Structure 1
Amino acid sequence: MDRKLNLKKGDKCIMAIVEMSNASRRVNMRLENIKEWTWEVEVVSVGRKYITVKRNSYEYKFDMENNYYEKSIYSPDYILYQNIKEIYEEKEAEAINDYIGSKIGQYGKPRLSLDKLKRIKNIIDEN
């Protein structure tokens, strides 16, 4: 998923913990407690490749060419979002994708009728 955030110096955006990152081990990454793993941060600078944001007194760099993941030589702990709505939409898309996967079935025979599978195929082929 390639994203383009429209951020400039002084803008507010959301910094969130990346699921399955080292930082996520200490927190329950459910939408019910989204305030525990997201923070509103201020954009300090926007360069050609990186965006720098400030949370409290600490600054974080995010790579614009890597879907706004934190710049790190290891696994990034944080990711930037334009707003909180973007996180909810991403989580909803993941839930729908998981639901469809569970209904279609990943192994063995499909759990849906041929007619339903053809309709799903037609919807997918629209894009």
Structure 2
Amino acid sequence: MNNRYDGTNGNGYQPMPTNSPKIPPGPDTPAPSALDGIGLIRLERDRQKACEGWTAEGDSTYRNDELVRAAACYALYNTDFRDLALVADSLWPWHLSWWKPRDRRENLIRAGALIAAELDRMAAAEGSKSA
């Protein structure tokens, strides 16, 4: 199933340029090199929200495992599993212009942030069912 979108992700967001800004560090923000894996993932998720405009409301519209599939693409990219045709054509849920793999460390951080977004989306969906 190919759910690629043409120009937006279906939520009205336009893709950000590849040189999207990093969150300016606040006075209490540790340098990324001082953070553990969870801290790096949290920092990336915060960057996605602050700099790229991703929101819980936007994430709540996903119904076809888009966040999980994107996370899998980033997690698999720098491994021995390098069937890029499979990643690009079967797993990547959005327009290919949004596929911006980097080095192994950055891709794993992105994958973790996307998984965190999916977990938050699931928790919010469960909360709205019980309310």
Instruction: Output the TM-score relative to the length of structure 1.
Output: 0.27
The structure that is strand-richer by fraction is 1
Greater RCO (Cα-Cα under 8 Å, separation 6 or more): 2
The structure that is helix-richer by fraction is 2
Instruction: Output the TM-score relative to the length of structure 2.
Output: 0.27
